């Protein structure tokens, strides 16, 4: 489940492998996760990949203008553009030799000028791909929150403490912070000893500043370790990340808290599985922790 550290890892990999390559042709499979599939076929060929950037959980492939082609002018291809890529839950993007067999869920192949193909593979198709010109890209990127690695103490406090939503919901809200997902939300709340169901406005100044500090520390360490591989995340070289070994809350229901040995619990907060230590992260008043049935067991509605 790619979040900021995983997307950063993939973006760094792509920077090392496909920067400067020219896109020669486009082959599409299923396209229901692509904004305008024909725009890819129409506007990508002839463009060079000039930069790979990350914006929250999005990757941005910056594309050159197409030069010296009569067709380009009529196409509007004489101006730079971008390919927006979101990996969703199960998306992977990596270059492969064009001769290599296509995997079952590979839905986009961009033939490059060196004989390789940049391939996007996504079994669940929760990802998103969009070809965007400058104006559309700018519009697309409005409404996102602060970069969690860059956000100042003051801005973080402002964005959290002025809100009555649960802190877990705020951390996951891309218009508050861009790039945090379920894993790093739970990990940072555990480190900061804050229960996920607490309200933003009810956090103390000290707690909020601690949360910012541990969130940044965790994200930075996770980037160094090339992200967390839970089920199927692989970086652009096909390697799994290592940060899952450092998880202290996420996915550890029933296992002992690393600080106090109390078994980690799971509750649904903000509609998501949330893992926390009931001892270190006291449940706020009024939040009932309903016992969750054991994983994998059948549940009946009666």
Partner DNA sequence: CTCGATCCCTGGACGC
Partner DNA sequence: TGCGTCCAGGGATCGA
- Interface stretch with DNA, choices 64-72, 111-119, 122-130, 204-212 (CB under 7 A): 122-130
Q: Of the two residues 27 and 174, which places its CB atom closer to DNA in the complex?
A: 174
20, 115, 263, 293: which one binds DNA (CB under 7 A): 293
In Å, how far from its chain's centre is CA 80?
Answer: 25
Q: Shortest approach of DNA to residue 29 CB, angstroms?
A: 11
**Residue 56 touching DNA (CB under 7 A):** yes
From 121, 182, 188, 281, residue interacting with DNA (rule: CB under 7 A): 182
DSSP designation for 280: T
Q: Choose, from 15, 272, 278, 284, the residue flagged as catalytic.
A: 272
User: What's the distance, CA 149 to chain centroid?
Assistant: 14
Give the other-Cβ count within 10 Å of 272's Cβ: 15
Q: Is 126 in the site for DNA (CB under 7 A)?
A: yes
The three-state secondary structure class of 284 is coil
Q: Is 291 in the site for DNA (CB under 7 A)?
A: no
**Quick check: 238 binds DNA (CB under 7 A)?**
no
Cα(282)–Cα(279) distance, integer angstroms: 6
Nearest one of 259, 58, 89 to 183, comparing CA atoms: 89
214 vs 159: CA distance, rounded Å: 17
Least distance (Å) between residue 249 CB and DNA: 11
Q: Does 192 bind DNA (CB under 7 A)?
A: no
Q: Is-catalytic flag, 272? A: yes
2 catalytic, yes or no?
A: yes
DSSP annotation string for 176-224 = TBSS--HHHHHHHHHHHT--TTSBGGGS-HHHHHHHHHHHHHHHHHHHH
- Strand 92-97 and strand 23-28: pairing? unpaired
Q: Pick the binder of DNA from 18, 270, 277, 280 (CB under 7 A).
A: 270
Give the whole-angstrom CA distance, residue 169 versus residue 62: 31
Provide the minimum distance between the beta carbon of 261 and DNA in the complex, in angstroms, as a whole number: 24
Of positions 231, 245, 285, 290, contacts DNA by CB under 7 A: 231
Would you name the residues annotated as active-site residues? 2-3, 57, 272
Site residues (CB under 7 A) for DNA?
Answer: 1, 3, 32, 56-57, 86, 88-90, 104-105, 123-126, 163-166, 169, 172, 174, 181-183, 199-200, 231, 270-273, 293, 295-299
């Amino acid at each position: 489940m790619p979040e900021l550290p995983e997307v950063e890892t993939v973006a760094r990999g792509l920077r090392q492998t496909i920067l400067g390559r020219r896109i020669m042709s486009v082959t599409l499979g299923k396209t229901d996760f692509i904004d305008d599939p024909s725009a890819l076929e129409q506007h990508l060929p002839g463009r060079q990949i000039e930069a790979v950037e990350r914006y929250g959980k999005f990757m941005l492939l910056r594309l050159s203008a197409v030069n010296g082609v009569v067709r380009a002018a009529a196409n509007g291809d004489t101006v730079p553009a971008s390919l927006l890529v979101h990996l969703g839950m199960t998306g992977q993007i990596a270059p492969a030799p064009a001769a290599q067999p296509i995997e079952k869920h590979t839905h986009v192949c961009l033939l490059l000028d060196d004989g390789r193909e940049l391939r996007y593979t996504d079994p669940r198709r929760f990802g998103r791909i969009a070809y965007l010109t400058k104006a559309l890209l700018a519009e697309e990127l409005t409404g996102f929150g602060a970069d969690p690695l860059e956000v100042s103490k003051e801005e973080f406090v402002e964005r959290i403490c002025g809100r009555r939503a649960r802190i877990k919901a705020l951390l996951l809200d891309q218009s508050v912070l861009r790039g945090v997902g379920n894993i790093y939300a739970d990990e940072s709340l555990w480190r900061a000893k804050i229960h996920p169901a607490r309200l933003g406005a009810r956090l103390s100044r000290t707690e909020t500043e601690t949360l910012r500090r541990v969130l940044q520390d965790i994200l930075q360490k996770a980037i160094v370790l090339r992200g967390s591989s839970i089920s199927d995340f692989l970086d652009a070289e096909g390697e799994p990340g290592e940060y899952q070994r450092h998880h202290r809350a996420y996915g550890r229901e029933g296992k002992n808290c690393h600080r106090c040995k109390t078994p980690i619990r799971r509750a649904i907060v903000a509609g998501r599985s949330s893992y926390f230590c009931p001892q270190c992260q006291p449940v706020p008043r009024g939040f009932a922790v309903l016992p969750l049935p054991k994983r994998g067991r059948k549940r009946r509605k009666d």
